[in-house]
Amino acid sequence: MSQLPDTARPRLAAKVRLKWDEVRQKPLLLFPEGLLVLNPTAQEIISLCDGQRTIAEIVKTLGEKFHSDTIDQDVQELLAKLAGKGFITIAD
């Protein structure tokens, strides 16, 4: 799958909703006819996909927060997967 440009500004598609599940105490991604139970990193990444921040900014924010060197790869992998499913849209 091709690498998304660092300058792209991902936004959650209208049909997709990020939700905190009170009953199970877990973050969920909801979409037509399905859902994903998210891990904390995925939740953080997705919550920053607001159509304003660029991928580079998302990586920077999370790198500082988690003191992680591999966050770049985590962000790229997750966003590519979500884009493939039409769950995020990309504005340049």
Partner 1 sequence: METPRPYSLLCELTYRCPLQCPYCSNPLDFARHTEELTTTEWERVLTEAAALGVVQAHFSGGEPLLRADLPQIVQRARELGLYTNLSTGGTLFDEKFGTQLREAGLDSLQVSIQDADAKNSNRLAGGAPSFDKKIQAAQIARKLGFSLTVNVVLHRQNLDRIGAIISMAEELGAERLELANSQYNGWALKNRAALLPARAQVERAASVADTARRRLQGRMEILYVLPDYFETFPKACLHGWGRVFMTVAADGAVLPCQTACEIRGLKFENARELSLEKIWFESESFQKFRGTGWLPEPCQSCPRKEMDFGGCRCQAFLLTGDATATDPVCSLAPQHRLIAGAMAQAGADAGGNLVYRNAGESLRLEKEQADYDRRGLEYGIFD
Nearer to partner 1, 61 or 76 (CB): 76
Element (H, E) at 84: helix 71-84
Could you say whether residue 85 binds partner 1 (CB under 8 A)?
yes
- Give, as ranges, the residues between 35 and 54 that touch partner 1 (CB under 8 A): 35
Q: CB atoms < 10 A from the CB of 7, how many?
A: 11
Are residues 55 and 7 in contact, defined by beta-carbon separation less than 8 angstroms?
yes
Nearer to partner 1, 19 or 65 (CB): 19
Round the CA-based radius of gyration of the chain to a whole number and report it.
Answer: 13
Element (H, E) at 40: helix 40-47
Nearer to partner 1, 53 or 81 (CB): 81
Binding site for partner 1 (CB under 8 A): 13-15, 17, 19, 21, 23-24, 28, 30-33, 35, 83-86
